[in-house]
A and B are shown apart, each in its own frame.
Chain A
Amino acid sequence: MGVEGPRGWKEANHTNRLHRMTKSAANSVDYARAPINAKLSNEEKIRLLRDMIRIRCFEQASLRLYQQGGRDGSKIGGFLHLYIGQESVAVGTVSLMGDNDHVITAYRDHGHALAVGMSMNECMAELLGKVTGCSKGKGGSMHYFAPDKNYWGGHGIVGGQTPLGLGLAYGIKYKGLTGAALCFLGDGAVNQGCFYESLNMAALFELPVIYIIENNRYSMGTSLERSSVVDKCLAQRAEAFKIEWAQASGEDLYEVRAVTQKAIERAHKTCRPTVIEFDTYRHYGHSVADSKHKGGYRKEEEIEKYKREHDPIQRFKARLMGEKVLSEEQFEAIEAEAKAEAAASVKFAEESPFPSEEAIFEDVYFEVDRQTEAGRTGRHFFNN
């Protein structure tokens, strides 16, 4: 257990109660034996593995589509931020969600979207800007939404989603529900001011928000060392707001679940926030257009080492094989099935129509879309 995080920070964390618990577990107890994991059935364990594999296969297919274009001549525009290497964080955290728990994240959002149960078809079609996409082709890669699955995006401005996560928690509390808002952000977003405004208000108002920092060590091309003043870790900044925090390895799905479960319990039982930092790593660049991620700001050996030794899918596969829950044949079958599903989603996306030109003016105003009296009063759009 306990792969070294960047600069060996994990040894330095002694002050926090929650963290001490996870740390001691890392030293002596296998996270597989944490109650939240021990109660998993074999089928549930296989499903968690499958969810990670599905994310990876979806994104590998999307990368090919980005590079080659669709067979119908369509293409993925703009940016494509791949989540490959971080799958355990989205799958592990989302697997703990109950009916009144909500998720919101930043622009590297494909993993969280598939983890909450969005279909590959709607996600792939969105990439090609098709009307069958989850956002009808109006959002693109960075803006997936599924409010029916408690998934609130998909946000493009770094850190901009952190006050929205606060608001989801506010809404949960206002309605008297027992729930939590899981708000994901990257290590780059921790230097945005609105994150600290949100931390202060989360503690002040006692809101059940869990800020989950996915620390993949690089905010675009700038390493953590070059972007952040770090004492022990980023999550420790929560101490300034009297917020409980934890830092853990994000590559072991069991550890992700065990650490996140404590935060969800805190939110549900005491309506208090938590900040969690998961050490993780992206195998690809900041986006597909990031030409300097390999041999530029990151050494190739570093990338290869993470792929070889810290791949969350390989690690969970090894665990499940060790537990005699999974065989190599089963793993290959799951992978083949996910690849086929991804390939089918590409075909679905290619065969789907683009939005009509009229759709440009749809979904701007609720009242106009519904043609309510308000929507029919006055001029809403200004074209010559």
Chain B
Amino acid sequence: MPLLAYRDALNQAFAEEIERDPNVVLIGEEVAQYDGAYKVTRGLWKKYGDKRVVDTPISEAAFIGMGIGASMLGLRPVIELMFWSFATVAYDQIVNNAGQIRYMSGGLINCPIVIRGPANGGTNVGATHSHTPENWLAAIPGLKVVCAATAYDAKGLMKTAIRDNDPVMFMENTLLYGEEWEVPEEEYLIPLGVADVKREGTDISLIGHGRAILTALKAAEVLAAEHDINAEVVDLRSIRPLDEEAILNSVRKTHRAVLVDENKAFCGVSAQISSIIMEKAFDDLDAPVGRVCSLDAPAIYSPALEPLQLPTVDRIIRKVKEIC
């Protein structure tokens, strides 16, 4: 199977969906002539032209609202946020218009859009550019939230997100754009709401999403090699809808869980997962659920310190050792 970079896997998803459906249109800052700020849309404007790949001014509220309005007439806009952190200036459009219009219209209107872009810390760009808003948005009934950890997942999930008839918030990661994974040449789709067990294990479940899953996989190797602990790693892939069964099945098997993600712990995704485990698998637990998240402060700029703010292999191992 050929190796493909995360950004190129997304690029293939866009190209395939543009060719499949004449209503798919890519919209965003620098997505066309500049080839994308992170080159995710490289070559697509040249290939598909002005109608399908559209550069916008720096006006997130207007171009996201425009995409929502156009989707009400049947278009399927795929809208790039250069950083998901910039969603804050378009929050009303995302939350109130994309998120609520189906409900408030009694189901008369739907909003088949994808809003996508990187949502991660770890690149020394300071707190305003380093938010992980998957929990803010997953808290809104009406929105769906997807976080892809690998190129394979990114392509399959993106194609599904574009075909979905509800608004999908798609979280990528700048630190992964250049990383390569095996991606099949033939077409495939990955459903939303299906987790992926990325490593089978018996002693503890490491459950999370996004790039933290890769950190958890590294930690699992160390735990196996140095601590004789066989960890299972469960990648949620989508936060809403959520594959609750996969979480519970893993916990029922290992009886221990550490939740790992780059969200904050307080009111973060892991808080919800922890609550679900407590409510539905309490009797299966042999230890309290542990969590390894981003440290609870704004993202620090200092290149020497920021990596420590994200979940690290060491922190995961320490937390696992506390409860194993």
Binding site for B on A (CB under 8 A): 102, 104, 133-139, 143, 145-147, 152-157, 160, 162-172, 174-175, 181, 193-194, 197-198, 200-201, 204, 362-367, 369, 373-374, 377-382, 384
* Chain B residues in 8 Å Cβ range of A153: 101, 104-105, 109
Q: Which residues of A contact B164 (CB under 8 A)?
A: 367, 374
Nearest to B164 among chain A residues (CB) is A374
In the complex, which of the residues A134, A174, A194, A204 contacts B93, with contact meaning CB atoms closer than 8 Å? A194
Q: How many A-B residue pairs have CB under 8 A?
A: 183
A373 contacts which of B73, B109, B191 (Cβ < 8 Å)? B191
A379 contacts B106, CB within 8 Å? no
Contact of A377 with B70 at beta-carbon distance under 8 Å, contacts A133-B106, A160-B93 already known: no
Q: Contact: B105 with A170, CB < 8 Å?
A: no
Q: Is the CB of A198 within 8 A of B65?
A: yes
Contact A162 B70 (CB under 8 A): no
Among listed B32-40, B128-136, B211-219, B237-245, interface-contacting one: B237-245
Given A160-B93, A200-B59, A201-B57, are A167 and B67 neighbors across the interface (CB < 8 Å)? yes
Q: Which residues of A contact B96 (CB under 8 A)?
A: 156-157, 160
The residue that A171 contacts in the complex, of B51, B73, B110, B192, with Cβ under 8 A, is: B73
Which of B65, B72, B106, B192 has a CB less than 8 Å from the CB of A378?
B192
Cross-chain contact B65 with A164 (CB below 8 angstroms): yes
**Do the beta carbons of A145 and B109 come within 8 Å of each other?**
yes
Q: Within 8 Å of chain A (Cβ to Cβ): is B253? A: no
CB distance from A312 to the nearest CB of B (A): 29
B56 to chain A: which residues have CB within 8 Å?
201
B142 contacts partner chain A, Cβ-Cβ < 8 Å: yes
Determine if B57 and A380 form an interchain contact, defined as CB atoms under 8 angstroms apart: no
- Whole-angstrom distance from the CB of B224 to the nearest CB of chain A? 30
Contact, CB under 8 Å: A175 / B108:
no
Which chain A residues border B240 with CB–CB below 8 Å?
A: 378, 380
The distance in angstroms between the C-alpha atoms of A154 and B62, with both chains bound, is: 18
Q: Is residue B285 contacting chain A, with contact meaning CB distance below 8 A? A: no
Chain B hits for A374, CB < 8 A: 160, 164, 191-193
Does B2 have its Cβ within 8 Å of any Cβ on chain A?
no
Which listed residue (A156, A164, A365, A373) contacts B142, Cβ 8 A?
A365
Q: Write the chain B residue with the least CB distance to A373.
A: B191
Q: In chain B, what residue has the closest Cβ to A126?
A: B106
User: Given A164-B68, A168-B72, A171-B69, A201–B59 Cβ distance below 8 Å?
Assistant: yes
Nearest CB on A from B167, distance (A): 9
* B61-A193 in contact (CB<8A): yes
Contact of A379 among B97, B105, B142, B193 (CB under 8 A): B193
What chain A residues lie within 8 Å of B279 (beta carbons)?
A: 384
Contacting pair B61 A163 (CB below 8 A): yes
B166 interface residue, CB < 8 Å from A?
yes
Q: Is B223 close to A, CB under 8 A?
A: no
Report A-chain residues with C-beta under 8 Å of the C-beta of B67. 167
Q: Which residues of A contact B202 (CB under 8 A)?
A: none
Q: Which of B236-262 contact A (CB under 8 A)?
A: 238, 240-244
